[in-house]
């Protein structure tokens, strides 16, 4: 029987549950470089994305669409559905809300990779100062995921134009406002979750030891972070192959001579991102989104709803 998990069912896993699912999968030996690359299908009014993955006795696939013109219609830019199967029989077991799944798993990967640094910054109970570029669901999701693991003292959201302050932030600034630059200088954590194709901040402003979580770009010719930041940071990516194919922040920094691809730290190497990462350099976690992330979080959400096999009716 195929069960349905709506958005509320998916979000019920919570940020902490999603982060735990990601870290447990990586600790168990999941290698992101072994994942199947997503297929991007050009469509008349946007893109279709197919994201399959198999691991740990499960197979799943997300079908997503990106329609840039939907904002003007008052509709969601991204829509998605996720179908989870049992690997042994290839029987579909769950149909999940793909938008909720993406909203939950993306910050989970960011925080899973940066958690040790976040905890070090928050040592002694000091609340962290966050600056978030982008007022959409991913900005909100990253704040929630950070809050689920460390105390947060202050959240500033930065957008291209002024507007109402989201309920999850303390203030909102326009990018051109001088206060935005000052906020970046003070920030412990900077999140970039935008649709920008050019850098949204001056990387020289990011202080040594800060964490930067960048999720907006997943095309080789679009980036949110400049080479000044990428060249002085420890850069963590999901997989080297994915980053070199899809992460414009990485690709353009390499082309400009600021970043060496051999210096990238991947999630398959926990000694890199959970080990001896220099504390006197910014830590950049640059993700593009991969199928294994949807899979491990979908499985965790499914298990939470259905319970262990022995408990299922």
Q: What is the pLDDT of residue 265?
A: 94
Contact yes or no for 65/44 (Cβ under 8 A): no
Give the pLDDT confidence score for residue 313 in this predicted structure. 34
In angstroms, rounded to a whole number, what is the distance separating the alpha carbons of residues 281 and 207?
A: 8
Radius of gyration of the chain (CA): 19
Residue in this structure with the two tokens 């909203």, named with its chain if needed = 103
Q: How many residues does the chain have?
A: 313
pLDDT digits (tens, 9 = 90+) for 107-155: 999 999 999 999 999 998 889 999 999 999 999 999 999 999 999 999 9
List Cβ neighbours of 79 (8 Å cut-off, separation of 6 or more): 64, 65, 67, 98, 99
Residue 41 confidence (pLDDT): 95
Cβ neighbours, 10 Å, residue 27: 10
Say how far apart CA 200 and CA 197 lie, in whole Å.
Answer: 9
Tokens of 236: 């963590």
> At residue 156, what are phi and psi to the nearest 5 degrees?
-115, 130
Which regions of the chain are under pLDDT 50? 310-313
DSSP 32-51: GGGSPPPEEEEETTEEEEEE
DSSP state at residue 57: T
Which of 226, 241, 260 has the alpha carbon at shortest distance from 31?
Answer: 241
User: What is the C-alpha separation between 95 and 100, in angstroms, rounded?
Assistant: 12
């Amino acid at each position: 029987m195929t069960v349905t998990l709506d958005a509320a069912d998916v979000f019920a896993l919570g940020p902490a549950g999603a982060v735990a699912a990601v870290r447990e999968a990586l600790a168990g030996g999941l290698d992101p470089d072994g994942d199947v690359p997503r297929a991007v299908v050009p469509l008349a009014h946007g893109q279709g994305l197919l994201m399959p993955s198999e691991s740990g006795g499960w197979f799943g696939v997300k079908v997503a669409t990106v329609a840039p013109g939907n904002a003007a219609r008052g509709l969601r830019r991204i829509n998605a559905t996720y179908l989870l199967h049992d690997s042994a029989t290839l029987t579909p077991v769950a149909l999940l809300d793909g938008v909720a799944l993406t909203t939950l798993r993306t910050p989970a990967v960011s925080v899973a990779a940066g958690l040790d640094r976040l905890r070090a910054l928050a040592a002694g109970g000091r609340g962290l100062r966050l600056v978030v570029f982008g007022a959409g669901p991913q900005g909100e999701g990253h704040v929630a995921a950070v809050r689920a693991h460390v105390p947060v003292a202050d959240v500033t959201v930065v957008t291209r134009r002024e507007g109402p302050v989201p309920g999850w932030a303390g203030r909102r600034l326009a990018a051109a406002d001088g206060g935005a630059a000052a906020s970046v200088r003070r920030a412990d954590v900077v999140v970039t979750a935008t649709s920008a194709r050019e850098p949204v901040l001056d990387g020289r402003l990011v202080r040594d030891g800060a964490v930067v979580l960048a999720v907006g770009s997943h095309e080789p010719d679009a980036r949110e972070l400049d080479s000044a930041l990428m060249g002085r940071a420890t850069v963590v990516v999901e997989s080297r192959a994915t980053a070199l194919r899809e992460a414009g922040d990485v690709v353009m920094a390499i082309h400009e001579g600021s970043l060496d691809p051999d210096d990238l730290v991947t999630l398959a190497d926990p000694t890199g991102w959970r080990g001896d990462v220099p504390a006197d350099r910014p830590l950049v976690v640059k993700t593009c989104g991969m199928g294994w992330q949807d899979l491990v979080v979908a499985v965790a959400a499914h298990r939470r709803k259905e319970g262990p096999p022995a408990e299922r009716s």
